[in-house]
Amino acid sequence: MFEKIDLSKRMDKEEYEEIVPDLRKKLASLQREASGLGIPSIVVFEGWEASGKGKLINDLILPMDPRGFDVYEISDPGPEEDRRPFFWRFWVKTPSRGRMAIFSRSWYHRTLVEKAAESEAGLRAGPVTEINYFERELAADGFLILKFFLHIGKKEQKKRFEELDSDPSTTWMITDKSWQSHKKYDKYASAIESLIEKTDFNYAPWVIVEAEDRRFAEAKVLAKTVESLERVIAAAQIPRACDIAAGQVHPIPGINSSMLDKVDLSKAYSKRDYEQKLEKCQEAIRKTQYKAYDKKVPTVVLFEGWDAAGKGGAIKRLTQSMDPRCYTVVPIGAPNDYEKAHNYLWRFWRHLPVAGHFTIFDRSWYGRVLVERVENFCAREDWERSYNEINEMEEQLVNSGTVLVKFWLHIDKDEQLKRFQARTDNPDKAWKITEEDWRNREKWDAYKNALDEMLYRTSTTYAPWTIVEANDKNYARIKVLKTVIQAMEMSLE
Amino acid sequence: MFEKIDLSKRMDKEEYEEIVPDLRKKLASLQREASGLGIPSIVVFEGWEASGKGKLINDLILPMDPRGFDVYEISDPGPEEDRRPFFWRFWVKTPSRGRMAIFSRSWYHRTLVEKAAESEAGLRAGPVTEINYFERELAADGFLILKFFLHIGKKEQKKRFEELDSDPSTTWMITDKSWQSHKKYDKYASAIESLIEKTDFNYAPWVIVEAEDRRFAEAKVLAKTVESLERVIAAAQIPRACDIAAGQVHPIPGINSSMLDKVDLSKAYSKRDYEQKLEKCQEAIRKTQYKAYDKKVPTVVLFEGWDAAGKGGAIKRLTQSMDPRCYTVVPIGAPNDYEKAHNYLWRFWRHLPVAGHFTIFDRSWYGRVLVERVENFCAREDWERSYNEINEMEEQLVNSGTVLVKFWLHIDKDEQLKRFQARTDNPDKAWKITEEDWRNREKWDAYKNALDEMLYRTSTTYAPWTIVEANDKNYARIKVLKTVIQAMEMSLE
């Protein structure tokens, strides 16, 4: 690929003055338009050291309204970042609707360095797969994704290193490491070529920028950004087919019976049994938690279930003996405005635990395919797509060493009614029950339909669902505790 | 102080069963009430190592709704934290309206460790002062602040260390460092006593908890929290006098003339002069920025000024030659819902640069005493208080080594009118001018009045204002560049 690139491209001052001011004006106006339409954009700058990333990013941002973008410099991950799944640090930086995030280096950087390293042994499992998950998902959500690779030749790099090194204000930029990578220029070149080939898609294209001539490079970066913005703005103005189809019932071919119907809801423990088991389990979870903390294994436990299925009580019994400095309960309700302005997975990525910590989600990302689906809060295309997206996120979690446990707390319709009535009658618990709970209850069948599909599509080998028989609270609480302890112990062995 | 504490206090099971379940119920209901009233709370747990912070925090949170609080474990600062002013990490964790933040260790920890160290030389300048700034400001903003110190004797600590050490799941908790601090128990005790005395206020009281008996300690923590919540809820229901007085004009005793009237707005540069100076300045700022980056000196530049005074253009000229990976422009508009739910300084603390970086605020925290005052967006008591709060924040910034430059871009009323009209007439610039700009213009005198008071009350020795004569854009841009370069150079010497 690189051999086809003509690095001798130059732009003289006259041509530059004719083209560039006009591009800047266009860019400024397109940015405002994209912002008004709520289109989020991601622009990536990768390139050789000293290829001029800093200058070109400045060229790109100066015409734009500074209220509309953020620039992120990606260097080696800090401890907050290194102790979470690889894409955590990028997910938390994804722009909200209408904003642009500009990355100087990106998720490609580490993969490149690893690829160029002598041995391939150090290469993480599936980095290219994870990159594709990330970009495809954001593109499907309406993001503009544009990736520049700034290309200069080996000779030019040497010249630039020498210049930077001889200027006292920039000499610190050129280190031994710079010269070492310079020596490996050809090795890097082939790693870059192969990575670019594997990650060049129409929804997230690479643009190689001939960057030896700064005027030419600026004009190309501006022109390609303008072109991409024009394209994505045009696309945003066509209503999506899915918006029209939204809210229809979704038949699952081949699933005629629900696995929920087979759940034995008569399982129960006597009070005495329960108390004995509870004490044992709580002692065990406390010890296991400290072990996980010591060994830096993170844990995510998520609870879904019918209203009044006893999620709160189960969470309380799970955490009662745990060290509150090592666990967090994240209650998930309707997203606030700030969260709504991001991709729906963004708020979950933000809350992923660092290594050694324990995060409990009280409801979770599955809201997308349950309440959001049933209540038509999102377009059909969006929730249909999200089964895959959820599986991909969970896969990354598990691959990065997280223990992941997913609970569905199951009760039947009669039991729910009994509990609703008990809550209404008890003044200390009346706040727990709202009009919405009664409305949801009326949609029991629609929820069950969504639920069957969720269990079917998101029960994976790496992240299976645990269905908890919850008509008896005692039984449910012990099952939750035992399942979590077992999952953690397995991964700690 | 400690010698008066009776560590032999015990609570038997019977008394515990009588008192504690009732306290838990009360706590749960008060938390919901405080949340409904939008009262934010901060509960701090400090105490001897092995005094049971983890258990007591769990005792406190288990009765509460997990949607209402966050637990923060404060250990040694990470690199993200260490490279910003000391209180940055705590400001970003202040709860939003209606939420509770529970700190296991806190801003007291480092000060304690330093105080107990052999030499007092290591003690930072004014840690107690900064603590008092922080707590007083939040309390004035309606926060509940409650601080527990969990107290156990030296013998009891030894016993607990031995127990933890002999249990395989907790043995890692007890390190050499633990035993070293144990040996210095008495030295720490006197440091703690003196720190508690200096920071015990009615709006942020300390409660010493006799923590040798776990039942007694739990009951005391719950009872004191219940009591504090009851007090703050009662107070929140009385309308504040200030809410009634809001919006009145505020006379400043002794200021009869405005320093703005003395500004020489005829200052100007010819185009040629300007271009020459601009080139020189931009080269200089680029070098200075790299030097600051290399030496890890952070810079904050804030721009305030009349509408159309040329803030955007000045910022563009300032940043044009800078490395975009080292600077950020933070445009400050009306706070969004998420920001509104926090103390007004919270969003500015969040954006403070790490060491070596450069943050430009396009408008700033001074909005509080300008637009929010003039438009009655906040109560009179709130903006009156904020002059001090702003000075205190800036003092902390400067004390932590940040270069701070504050610009007021000054034009006269005629020049503003000319610029508004030019914008209206130019289709490329028409978006820059809104109805609101015209409305603000009508309130010129009210703004000038607020401005005079702002300049008077927030021109401090450590953070002086620079008034920029901005009728001539060329002159203004060069003055901005020169002032920033000079301020940075002074601190880099």
Q: Is the ipTM of this complex over 0.90?
A: no
The length of chain A in residues reads: 493
State residue B180's pLDDT score: 92
Single-letter amino acid, residue A410: H
Does B62 contact A325 at a Cβ distance shorter than 8 Å?
Answer: no
Chain A residues with beta carbon closer than 8 angstroms to that of B214: none
Cα–Cα distance between B438 and B460 in angstroms, integer? 32
From the list B70, B79, B323, the residue facing A78 with the nearest CB is B79
Tell me the pTM. 0.84
Interface touch A53/B325, C-beta < 8 Å: yes
* Shortest Cα distance, chain B CAs vs residue A67, angstroms: 5
User: How many CB contacts within 8 angstroms connect chain A with chain B?
Assistant: 105
Q: How far apart are CA A417 and CA A310, in angstroms?
A: 13
Q: Where are the extended beta strands (E) located within A240-335?
A: 299-305, 327-331
Comparing CA positions, the residue from B484, B427, B479 lying closest to residue B309 is B479
Pair type for strands A144-151 and B69-73: unpaired
CB contact under 8 A, B169 and A61: no
What is the least distance, in Å, from the CA of B415 to any CA of chain A? 23
Q: At what angle do helices A444-458 and A380-399 cross, to 10 degrees?
A: 40
Question: CB-based contacts of A80: which residues, under 8 Å, 6+ apart?
Answer: A354, B78, B80
Residue type at A229? L
Q: Is B89 helix (H, G, I), strand (E, B) or coil?
A: helix
- Residues in chain A closer than 8 A to B489 (CB atoms): none
**Chain A residues with beta carbon closer than 8 angstroms to that of B321:** 58
Q: What pLDDT score does A117 carry?
A: 64
Tokens of residue A111, six digits: 């993969």
How crowded is residue A288: how many other Cβ atoms within 10 Å of its Cβ?
22
Out of A58, A328, A331, name the one closest to residue B324 (CB). A58
Q: What is the mean pLDDT of residues B150-168?
A: 95
Chain centroid to Cα B144, Å, comes to 16
CA dihedral for A198, A204, A210, A214, sign (positive or negative):
negative
Answer yes or no: do B315 and A170 touch at CB < 8 A: no
Look up tokens 């002059």; give the residue: B387
| C-beta atoms surrounding B248 within 10 Å | 9
> For residue B119, is pLDDT > 50?
no
**Residue tagged 């969040």 (tokens):** B350
Of B32, B80, B336, the CB nearest to A78: B80
- Gap from B419 CA to chain A (nearest CA, Å): 19
CA distance B328 to chain A (A): 7
Q: How far apart are CA B349 and CA B343, in angstroms?
A: 10
Question: Which residue among A169, A316, A333 places its CB closest to the CB of B287?
Answer: A169
Radius of gyration of chain B (CA): 27
Q: Which of A29, A290, A329 sits opposite B170 (nearest CB)?
A: A290
Q: Which chain A residues are Cβ-neighbours of B322 within 8 angstroms?
A: 58
- Give the pLDDT confidence of B31-46 residue by residue, as tens digits: 999 999 999 999 999 9
pLDDT of residue A337: 83
Q: Smallest Cβ distance to A25: which of B61, B326, B428?
A: B428
Contacts of A205-209 spanning 24+ positions with Cβ under 8 A: A205/A146, A205/A147, A206/A147, A206/A148, A206/A149, A207/A146, A207/A147, A207/A148, A207/A149, A208/A1, A208/A2, A208/A5, A208/A149, A208/A151, A209/A47, A209/A56, A209/A148, A209/A149, A209/A150, A209/A151
* Two structure tokens written together for B349: 């603390």
| Cα nearest neighbour of B286 on chain A | A169
Q: In a mutagenesis test of the B interface, which of A33, A49, A323, A433 is the best target, namely the one with the most B β-carbons within 10 Å?
A: A323
In this complex, do A362 and B66 lie within 8 Å of one another by their Cβ atoms? yes
d(CA A406, CA A484): 9
Distance CA B433, CA B307 (A): 9
What separation in angstroms does the CA of A368 have from each of A134, A383, A451, B111, B128? Answer: 18, 6, 11, 46, 48
For residue B355, count other CB atoms closer than 10 A to its CB.
Answer: 17
List CB contacts (< 8 A) between B66 and chain A.
315, 329, 331, 362
CB of A265 closer than 8 Å to CB of A471 = yes
Segment B315-329, tens digit of pLDDT: 999 999 999 888 999
Q: Identify residue B312 by its one-letter amino acid code.
A: G
Chain B positions touching A56 (Cβ under 8 A) are none
- From CA A85, how far away is CA B349, in angstroms rounded? 28
The dihedral of CA B441, B445, B446, B449: what is its sign?
Answer: positive
Q: A464: exposed, middle or buried (C-beta count within 10 Å: 0-12, 13-18, 19+)?
A: middle
Q: Choose, out of B58, B82, B330, the residue to mutate when testing the contact with A (most A CBs < 10 Å).
A: B58
Three-class DSSP category at A254: coil
Is the pLDDT assigned to residue B104 strictly greater than 70? yes
Model pLDDT, residue A248: 45
User: Which of B166, B291, B293, B325 to mutate: most A Cβ within 10 Å?
Assistant: B325
Residue range A152-161, pLDDT digits in tens: 999 999 999 9
Which residue is closest to B29 within chain A, CA to CA?
A: A428
- Say yes or no for a CB contact (<8 Å) between B328 and A362: no
Residue A380 in tokens: 């059909």
In terms of C-beta density within 10 A (0-12 exposed, 13-18 middle, 19 or more buried), how is residue B99 classed?
buried
Please list every residue in chain B whose beta carbon sits closer than 8 Å to the beta carbon of residue A66: 312, 315, 329, 331, 362
How large is the greatest C-alpha to C-alpha distance in chain B, in angstroms?
89
Query: CA B441, CA B420: separation in Å to the nearest integer?
Result: 10
- Chain B hits for A67, Cβ within 8 Å: 331, 333, 362
DSSP per-residue string spanning B170-193: TGGG--HHHHHHHHTHHHHHHHHH
* Structure token digits, residue B31: 């938390």
Higher pLDDT, A261 or B458: B458
Distance from CA of A429 to the nearest CA of B (A): 10
- pLDDT (0 to 100) of residue B121: 43
On whether the CB atoms of residues A393 and A348 are closer than 8 A, the answer is yes
Looking at the complex, report in whole angstroms how far the Cα of residue B121 sits from the nearest Cα belonging to chain A: 30
Q: How far is B73 from chain A (nearest CA, A)?
A: 6
- Beta-carbon separation of A53 and B294 below 8 A: no
Pick the closest to residue B355 from B397, B302, B293 (CA basis).
B293
- Residue A363, amino acid: R
The answer to whether the CB atoms of B362 and A53 lie below 8 A apart is no
Full DSSP string of B423-488: HHH-TTTGGG--HHHHHHHHTHHHHHHHHHHHHHHH--SSS-EEEEE-SSHHHHHHHHHHHHHHHH
Type and span of the H or E element at B27: helix B13-36
Query: Are A337 and B336 a contacting pair at CB < 8 A?
Result: yes
**CA–CA dist A202, A183 (Å, integer):** 33
Closest Cα in chain B to A65 = B312
d(CA A50, CA A73): 15
Q: With a cut of 70, list the residues of chain A below it in pLDDT.
A: 115-126, 239-257
Q: Is A366 helix (H, G, I), strand (E, B) or coil?
A: helix
**Cα–Cα distance, A422 to A444 (Å, whole number):** 19
* B180, B183, B186, B192: CA torsion to nearest 10: 20
Q: Which residues pair with B409 in a beta bridge?
A: B305, B468
Nearest to A79 among B78, B315, B328 (CB): B78
Lowest mean pLDDT among A260-269, B1-10, B113-122, B385-394: B113-122
Q: What residues of A are in contact with residue B169 (Cβ under 8 Å)?
A: 286-287, 290-291
Question: Within 13 A of A459's CA, how many CA atoms are on the CB side?
Answer: 12
Q: What is the arrangement of strands in the sheet containing B144-151, beginning at the earlier edge strand?
A: B69-73, B100-104, B41-47, B144-151, B206-210
Q: How far does A440 lie from chain B, in Å, by closest CA?
A: 21
Q: Indicate the pairing of strand B327-331 with strand A465-469.
A: unpaired
Cβ of A331 within 8 Å of Cβ of B66? The answer is yes
Q: Would you call A320 and B58 a contact, using CB atoms and an 8 Å cutoff?
A: yes
Name the residue in chain A with its Cα closest to that of B64. Answer: A316
Q: What is the pLDDT of residue B54?
A: 92
Q: Specify the 3-state DSSP secondary structure of B102.
A: strand
Instruction: Choose from A65, A97, A315, A325 for mutation: most chain B CBs within 10 A.
Output: A325
| Among the partner residues A79, A173, A338, nearest to B338 by beta-carbon distance | A338
Asked whether the beta carbons of A222 and A23 are under 8 A apart, the reply is yes
Write out chain B residues lying below 8 Å of A282, CB-based.
none
Nearest-angstrom CA–CA distance, B487 and B493: 10
Confidence (pLDDT) at A262: 85
Which letter does DSSP use for residue B101 in this model? E
Distance separating alpha carbons of residues A33 and A134, to the nearest angstrom: 25
User: What contacts 24+ positions apart, CB below 8 Å, involve A250-257?
Assistant: A250/A380, A250/A384, A250/A449, A250/A453, A252/A452, A252/A453, A252/A456, A255/A452, A255/A453, A255/A456
Residue of chain B with shortest Cα separation from A294: B172
Say what the pLDDT of residue B252 is.
Answer: 55
Name the residue facing A338 among B61, B80, B336 (closest C-beta). Answer: B336
CB nearest B169 (choices: A290, A325, A333): A290
Instruction: Test B294 with A172 for CB contact under 8 angstroms.
Output: yes
A170 to chain B: which residues are within 8 Å by CB? Answer: 290
Of B73, B290, B321, the CB nearest to A170: B290
Average pLDDT, chain B: 90
Task: Choose the closest CB to A337 out of B104, B173, B337.
Answer: B337
